[in-house]
Amino acid sequence: MVTLMELRLYDTLSREKRVFTPIDPAMVRMYVCGPTVYDYAHIGNARPVIVFDVLFRLLRHLYGEAHVKYVRNITDVDDKINARAAERGIDIRQLTEETYKNFKEDVAALGCLPPTVEPRATEHIEEMKAIIERLIKSGHAYVAEDNVLFNVPSMSDYGQLSKRPMDEMIAGARVEVAPYKKDAQDFVLWKPSKPGEPGWPSPGGIKTPGRPGWHIECSAMSWKHLGETFDIHGGGIDLVFPHHENEIAQSRCAFHQDVMANYWMHNGFLQVEGEKMSKSLGNFITIRDVLKDWPGEVARFNMLKTHYRQPIDWTVKGLEEAWKTLDDWYWIANDAPGATISAPVLEALCDDLNTHQVITALHGLRNRIQAGEDKLRGEFAGTLRALGFLRESAKDWASRRQVASGVDAAKVEGLIAARKAARASKDFKESDRIRDELAAMGVVLKDSKEGTTWEIAR
């Protein structure tokens, strides 16, 4: 554990930036909503994964790796999963296993650490049923036509997270209109399974098999792994209502607590080239699509250029700029050993994950090294590693860049050999001509006493 720097986080519930004080500094607890595993995750799904990976790394730095528990769930029972499995004609479990494997590979390529625990919804049915039974017993839920519903009016301060007027919450919830509901905004905790759908013995004395609603899953998994109350709950801003609002309602009413989590953090929306991402517009991009053309660290850097609470515009130009910057930083770091995080970077991270300021601080550190302060190279490299970069050597990175550029490496090596021969015979005119030819190809030569290396122009 390091000497603690004051960490301030923006809390959606209170609408203010607050000093972070964990319930138990010996075990900081964070829950983030994970993927519904029915298809490849899209680039918008990558944003919370990257954002909360940065927070996870920061908390581990501040409190110690053994003193942070990060839970990110897997939703493996859902209408979308059922529909996709039927569409593909495969077993539901086969679909969820395949999709989960793809997700893990994709986020690892983005430089994200695995969470401490990745619970699956289907492995927490008993916890869901236990919460539902508590809610029925306390009068916050009721059984109607083999459904169990949460009775929203039974909670006097429902809606504090989203702070929406009641009519907007009713409209925005997009809840099923059903005659058996006591109130229009009541939401499903448990519902009967249709033929061919997954089903489990139901709570509340219901005789037919059923399955959980979406919201109850996260309440159950966070309870099982983090307790009735915990430190941080995160996710995308699209989850504030109704998902997180309903999680709060379920958990608080089941456990008679004033809060579910002490800090609620939400990342902003993502759009592509200035437009909302959608399949109808033809700009729907999966993480796997991005990784076909760009290193994962470039995608990670591009995501972190914008503060996490702000909207982000995902563009090819932004990716190109990110790659250019990382090319330069890898060259400057030059595989230097080191694990120290730069103080200005740590200060920026502790100011509500201000990654935009982090990048500014890293540019400043890079310029000082370039100006002759070589002793800072280890600090620079250590900081990049702490942020999830420098996962491959500078040499491997340069090789990857060369391949991606489309430049014929064999031709370049041949020209370098010819230039070496020209210089040996003191034919400097020919040597300069070859250098110019290489420059026209976008190749930069670096001469040293060890020989000549090359890279693609940044």
pLDDT at 167: 62
Domain assignment present for 421: yes
Domain assignment present for 205: yes
pLDDT at 390: 87
* Residues of the domain holding 186: 8-267
314 and 447, same domain (yes or no) = no
Q: For every one of its 458 residues, what pLDDT tens digit does the chain have, with 9 covering 90 and above?
A: 444 689 999 999 999 999 999 999 999 999 999 999 999 999 999 999 999 999 999 999 999 999 999 999 999 999 999 999 999 999 999 999 999 999 999 999 999 999 999 999 999 999 999 999 999 999 999 999 999 999 999 999 999 999 977 666 655 555 567 889 999 999 999 999 999 899 999 999 999 999 999 999 999 999 999 999 999 999 999 999 999 999 999 999 999 999 999 999 999 999 999 999 988 888 899 999 999 999 999 999 999 999 999 999 999 999 999 999 998 999 899 889 987 899 999 999 999 999 999 999 999 999 999 999 999 999 999 999 999 998 877 677 777 776 766 778 788 889 989 999 999 999 999 999 999 988 888 888 888 766 787 777 75
- Structurally, the chain folds into a number of domains equal to 3
Domain assignment present for 174: yes
pLDDT at 217: 98
291 and 438, same domain (yes or no) = no
Domain-ending residue, one of 244, 267, 290 = 267
23 and 166, same domain (yes or no) = yes
Domain assignment present for 2: no
393 and 427, same domain (yes or no) = no
286 and 262, same domain (yes or no) = no
226 and 107, same domain (yes or no) = yes
pLDDT at 282: 85
259 and 280, same domain (yes or no) = no
pLDDT at 94: 96
CATH label of the domain that carries residue 146 = 3.40.50.620
Question: What's this model's pTM, rounded to 2 decimal places?
Answer: 0.89
CA separation for the pair 77, 211 (Å, rounded): 8
125 and 14, same domain (yes or no) = yes
103 and 203, same domain (yes or no) = yes
Domain assignment present for 192: yes
Domain assignment present for 136: yes
135 and 246, same domain (yes or no) = yes
Domain-ending residue, one of 221, 237, 267 = 267
CATH label of the domain that carries residue 391 = 1.20.120.640
CA separation for the pair 378, 342 (Å, rounded): 10
44 and 91, same domain (yes or no) = yes
157 and 288, same domain (yes or no) = no
Domain assignment present for 1: no
Domain-ending residue, one of 267, 286, 306 = 267
Domain assignment present for 3: no
pLDDT at 2: 45
